[in-house]
Amino acid sequence: MFGGYSLSHGPLNDIRRFDTKNSTWTQVTVESTPDAKMPQGRYFHGADIVHSRQSIYVYGGLTKQTKGTTNRTLSDLWTFNIIDQRWGEIKKFSEWPSAVAGHTLTSYRNSSFESLILIGGVSSQDGFLNFVWEFSVEKESWRRWLTKGNGPKGIFGHSTVFHQQTNSLYVFGGFLYDKQEYSLSNHLYQLDYHTQNWRELNSLGSSSYLPRPRFLHSAITTNTYMLVMGGKTQVWNITDTLYAYSYNCNQWFNLMSESLEKVGPLPVHTYAQAMAAEPDGDAAYIIGGWGADSQCTVLRLELPDDICSLWTSKHSCLKIAGCAYCAVKNGDEIVHEECYSNQKECPRNSNMQWNSSVISNQGKLCQDLQVGTHNCWAHQDCFTCLLGHECRWCDGACSSNQTCSLTDASHCPFTRCTATDCIQCHQLPGCDWSYTKRDCVPLLQEQLANDIKTCAQPCVNYSTCTACLAAADCRWSTQLDECISASYQPMYCAGGVCGLVLQNEDKQYCPEPCGSFSQCSLCLKHAYCGWCAAPGLGGDGVCTEGSGDKPMNGTCDEIYRDAKIGILDESLLETNITYSWHYVKCPPENECLNGHHSCATESEICQDLDVGYECVCGNGYKAGPTGCEPICSAGCVRGQCVQPNKCQCDFGYVGANCSIQCQCNGHANCEGPDKLDKCLECHNNTMGAQCEKCQPLFVGDPSNGGQCIPCLDYCHGHTSICVDNTTDIDISDGMDLDYLKEILREGPKSNAKCLKCSSLTSGTQCDECIDGNFRGTEDHRDPCRPCDCHGHGDTCDPITGDKCNCKNNTESDVCGGGPTKNSARPCWMVQCSKCKEGYFGTPTSGHQCYKQMSVDSKMCFDAKPIDECKMKPKPLHPGETVFFVIQPRFMNVDIRIIIDVTQGRLNVYMSTHDDTYVSYPNVTTGSNDIDLDQTYGKWENGTQKTKDVFMEREAQGLRTYITITQPKTILVVKDLKDRLVITLPEEYHTLETTRFFLVLQALDSPENDKKVSYGIVFSRQDQLHIDLFVFFSVFFSCFFLFLAACVVAWKAKQAADVRRARRRHVVEMLHMAKRPFATVTLNLSGRVKPRRSTHYDLRPVAVEPTDDGLAAVATVFVSLPGGQNPPVKLALASSLILLARQYPIGGRTFLRRRSTHAAPPT
């Protein structure tokens, strides 16, 4: 392991060896000689091993910032011999890649050749590396590739692996930079080494289970799959840690999903880690990286030889494309099951016995990478376009037009202009930077390239914070004191090495170092700065950090000498001079002599004062709002006074006071006031003696200041050739533009017509679409595309794409009609996508509308009821088709479908789905062909994609009977000439929800002079008649049986109730018999005489003592007032009393203890 970044030591340059057997680290001692060199410490470099030479090659990377330099990116190439343990630097040659970091250096090898491939990377000075470089190990030289295809223009932080079986390099993820916009990427690119062609695999089927966008991840490869680990993502969870990519199937697998069993500690979230595989491919090692903090661990990951073996169950195995399943059964018991690649045989198992059987399922086979013909226009590069068998490359765009000649991918043009910024673009021949498209575009022959001086300089060239933040996409690092670009900031500042990074809106926080001030007056404006002044009035000195007492970084003598070393010769620095420190007030100086004044050199004169200086206007100048302004005595009518009595005239004007206009229509300067018609050089694409004509391939009337616009703009970007309406010229494909200019001589003034309009456009200005095409916007610069009528129409509105001439019983669905309305899809996408009333189906993607039929109704072959067509039926011509759908009326009665052909021949197709069959015109025969939808076809291994049952019959004789007993059956009956009866038993079909879709296709009848077909279609559900005698007999028998059962039940319930009442009565009587009782005699006849004493000795009737015997409840009789006949004369009263009282001796007290009565016996 070499290099890396340590938070405590910075960039590292040591080499360490890890023993995989003992899991120990040792530092490698580098053999050196007196003249030997070692590479600088670095990180984000590219490195790989060349096994044949037992050497490690290291290129580029980031290093620490050195004094006097701002570029931290390296461009050196080093090799370390593992056997000799010695470094060696490869000498640079004329052809050499630029300094980069965040790139990949990948070892390529075949039977006779080894090299290193350099892809991607970025540097602060040169921007992105927009070419692929190859380093020959044997010749020790670099070679730049000219690649084709849609590859990444600017990328860093990605991963690259070389797969020897496909002889290709695979590039995944990273930061993509294109058109001055950058974003995290999860694109997967394949770079073929032999053809040097790029292609993006995401658009060819690998988008399933695609990892999140990431960068600074790591990857290794095996023979069958690529392993991707970690990386920095915007939102992370544990399932984003580990992915595998299958080369054969072009498919991703998430190895951290819950369906896979994982053993050992799970990996943590890291990025910028190192990853290497053992030579035999049994395991991978993940080392270091950054996460929540810097990591210093080594994680060993055991790799399976077959990626399919990770799935153990049959269900999960067969869901993965390219995986097969087999199991060993002993009788009915499965003793072993295994998931394996379906390109291999089922592995043998030791559990097999003489009576064992093997069951297997080949699963889904991997499909070839193809581009669908329905979306050819979506592909932006030639190579990917021609992967589709029906796609063609026409005029710089991908189309399904079969007339285009370019069908071979090897003839695709090279992408010459692949620069990511303006400066790189101007370094490429024939390329120019487009500021409107923010991209590098090929330069047309009639165009002149912009000057490279118009390009914005790199951010690293700005030395101050204020200037840096004033530039677009530039940011200021307070830790590095460096201006960096936002495009490479995520990598350049990884680990916090940039400190606080200021953006454009943070200009007020810009720190300016004291050393940037060369004058004392500017230095003392900042509270943290002071001035070390040299003796005299010259104003010489150094601005440095300090306080009111002294400088911070030493004495003024030391600071002055350190600051002037490298600027002045050391012999000129006098050692016996004492430098003074000034923190509040500057020392005296003559600003006019030392140049520390702000007076303009030409217009102002500096006058020195005791304190400071003064600027006064010089001869020929006067004070103005902006300073001293020059004086022109005669004035400048159409110009500007730049010096005393000297005018700078505007374009097209001459004379001492710029008052005379040249006779060049405002497009050129003339020789002088006496030669106004002698134009020097015509500009603005004009020509002629007075610049009164437009150049060929330009349109306009340049007289009186008119403009000449390019034909490319006049024709809305669809062609660069236009001529006058009166010009009749034949433009061939191979005609040279220079020759065409000689023929045309000059451009048209008005009413020009555009020739060779591309992008399916037409019209004099390529502002219309060819019939059957639409643009989709009001912008005439956008290309036209075919009307999307779903195959049911061929014309539409040329602008919006709606108003299709819908046929085949279709109509357009309701849409929003504009971007401001709430519409799920634009109108052009819902054209002819709905069936008319009385029809059923989804008429998109080649599907049709089916005429709805009820049971017992009859239809002719023209889809009209028999009552309307029996007098004059419309025939079905050969190749024509008619569609019916039958909805059962009864749910428990068999349904029969009868087709009677009175003349002609038919093919009959039936299904329970409306999307089973597609109809498309045959360009050879002109008829409509019926075919199965791709959803209902077969896989490459012959297995069905759906659970539908396919049945094909040949009609024979006068009557053909077919009974369908499978719920989902797709039926085809060929060559029907008479009657066909299809029976659908209700016990096999769910008639509540099932519809039956019929397609009738007329055939040519060679033995019959009349080629057309006539007949009817109807369906029946025959119901059985009910015998009333049997019905009522059964009904009354069941009724009386039910009534008798109710009577018996009622009698049984009565007997049970009587018995229960008797038992309850006996229990109550027994309970009452066990209650305590006594008698007492009460005399009510005698009258008690009143006594004088108020105390009465009452005698209770009953006393109920408590459990403790201290109290009781006493009950007495109380006589109520009211005379002889009151309503109530006597009452009982109870009270709580104490038993300590002595009752009268003669009295008898009845005591009763409160207790729970014993339960009566049962």
The enclosing domain of 680 has a CATH number of 2.10.25
Give yes or no for residue 595 having a pLDDT over 60. Answer: yes
Kindly state whether residues 1127 and 991 are assigned to the same domain.
Answer: no
To which H or E segment does residue 190 belong?
Answer: strand 188-192
> Does the pLDDT at position 251 exceed 50?
yes
pLDDT band for position 1155 (cuts 50, 70, 90): very low
Domain match, 61 and 112 both: yes
Residues 6 or more apart in contact with residue 326 via CB below 8 angstroms: 337, 338, 340, 346, 347, 358, 359, 360, 361
pLDDT band at 1146 (very low <50, low <70, confident <90, very high): very low
Q: Is the pLDDT of residue 500 over 60?
A: yes
Q: Judge whether residue 1136 has pLDDT over 80.
A: yes
Q: pLDDT-derived band of residue 967, with 50, 70 and 90 as boundaries?
A: confident
- pLDDT score for 371: 42
Q: Are strands 850-853 and 881-886 parallel, antiparallel or unpaired?
A: parallel
* pLDDT tens per residue across span 1069-1125: 888 777 767 778 887 776 656 666 556 667 888 888 888 888 999 999 888 887 777
> Do residues 582 and 678 both lie within one domain?
no
* Same-domain pairing of 867 and 975: yes
Q: Which of 589, 618, 641 is the last residue of a domain?
A: 589
Its domain, for residue 327, covers: 317-361
Residues 585 and 670 in one domain: no
For residue 858, tell me if it sits in a domain.
Answer: yes
Lowest average pLDDT, out of 450-464, 628-642, 811-825, 951-965, goes to 811-825
Q: Which pair of tokens denotes residue 401?
A: 């037009």
pLDDT of residue 944: 76
How far is the C-alpha of 694 from the C-alpha of 685, rounded, in Å?
Answer: 6
- Report the alpha-carbon distance of residue 883 to residue 792 in Å, rounded: 14
Q: Which residue type is seen at 969?
A: T
Residues 518 and 620 in one domain: no
**Residue 980 amino acid letter:** L
Kindly state whether residue 829 falls inside one of the protein's structural domains. no
Mean pLDDT of 102-129: 90
Instruction: Please check whether residue 366 lies inside any domain of the structure.
Output: no
| Own/partner long-range contacts of 713-717 (Cβ < 8 Å, ≥24 apart) | 714/752, 714/754, 714/765, 715/754, 715/757, 715/765, 715/766, 716/761, 716/765, 716/766, 716/767, 716/780, 716/781, 717/781
- Partners of 699 in the β-ladder: 709
pLDDT digits (tens, 9 = 90+) for 851-876: 999 888 899 998 888 888 878 888 88
Residue 88 token pair:
């060696």
Residue 527 has pLDDT above 60, yes or no: yes
Instruction: Give the per-residue SS3 of 1143-1161.
Output: CCCCCCCCECCCCCCCCCC
Cβ distance 661 to 638 under 8 Å? yes
Picking from 814, 818, 778, the residue whose alpha carbon sits closest to that of residue 798 is 778
Is the pLDDT at 26 greater than 80, yes or no? yes
Which of 206-210, 255-259, 1049-1053, 1055-1059 shows the lowest mean pLDDT across its residues?
206-210
Q: Given this model, what pLDDT does residue 1156 score?
A: 44
**DSSP H or E run through 738:** helix 737-744
The pLDDT value given to residue 714: 94
Question: Does 208 map to a domain?
Answer: no
- DSSP helix/strand/coil, 648: strand
**pLDDT band of 373, cuts 50, 70, 90:** very low
Same domain, 124 and 74: yes
For residue 569, what pLDDT band results from cuts at 50, 70 and 90? low
User: 637-675: string of b/e by CB count within 10 Å (b at 16+)?
Assistant: ebbebeeeeebebeebbbbbbbbbbbbbbbbbbbeeeee
* Residue 236 CB coordination number (10 Å): 16
Task: Identify the residue with better confidence: 566 or 906.
Answer: 906
Query: Which of these ranges, 534-548, 568-582, 698-712, has the smallest mean pLDDT?
Result: 568-582
With 90 as the cut, is the pLDDT of residue 1023 above it? no
Confidence of residue 819 (pLDDT cuts 50, 70, 90): very low
Average pLDDT taken over every residue of the chain = 84
User: Which residue has better confidence, 1023 or 702?
Assistant: 702
Note whether residue 251 is domain-resident: no
Rg, the chain, Cα only:
50
- Give yes or no: residues 614 and 669 share one domain: no
Burial of 980 (0-12, 13-18, 19+ CB in 10 A): buried
Residue 1005 lies in a domain: yes
Domain co-membership, 939 together with 1007: yes
Residue 820: per-residue pLDDT: 38
pLDDT tens-digit map of 189-212: 999 998 888 888 887 765 567 899
What is the pLDDT at residue 641? 93
Assign 908 to helix, strand or coil. Answer: strand
446, pLDDT greater than 70: no
| Residue 608 within any structural domain of the chain | yes
> Which pair of tokens denotes residue 634?
């005669």
Looking at the chain, the number of H-run helices and the number of E-run strands are 12, 80
Q: What angle do CA 274, 277, 282 make, to 5 degrees?
A: 145
Q: What dihedral do alpha carbons 438, 378, 803, 927 form, nearest 10°?
A: 150
Looking at 92, 112, 146, the residue that finishes a domain is 146
Whether residues 894 and 962 fall in one domain: yes
Cα 817 to Cα 814: distance, rounded to the nearest angstrom: 9
- Inside any domain, residue 203: no
In the predicted model, is pLDDT for residue 100 greater than 90? Answer: yes
Domains identified in the chain, total number = 8
User: Band of the pLDDT at 663, cuts 50, 70, 90?
Assistant: very high
As a whole number of angstroms, the distance between CA 134 and CA 829 comes to 47
Instruction: Return the percentage of the chain with pLDDT > 90, whole number.
Output: 35
Task: Name which of 57-66, 524-533, 961-970, 999-1008 the model is least confident about.
Answer: 999-1008
pLDDT at 118: 96
Look at residues 87, 117, 146 and tell me which one is the last residue of a structural domain. Answer: 146
3-state secondary structure of 75: strand
Q: How many CB atoms lie within 10 A of CB 316?
A: 16
State how far the Cα of 1071 lies from the Cα of 1086, in Å rounded to an integer. 38
- Asked if 97 and 129 touch (Cβ cutoff 8 Å), the reply is yes
Please indicate, yes or no, whether residues 66 and 117 belong to a single structural domain of this protein.
Answer: yes
CATH number at residue 87: 2.120.10.80
Task: Tell me which residue of 480, 486, 434 sits closest to 182, measured CA to CA.
Answer: 486
1010 and 1118 in a single domain? The answer is: no
pLDDT exceeds 60 at position 1147: no
Nearest Cα neighbor of 844 from 907, 971, 927, 933 is 933
Q: pLDDT band for 284, please (50, 70, 90 cuts).
A: very high
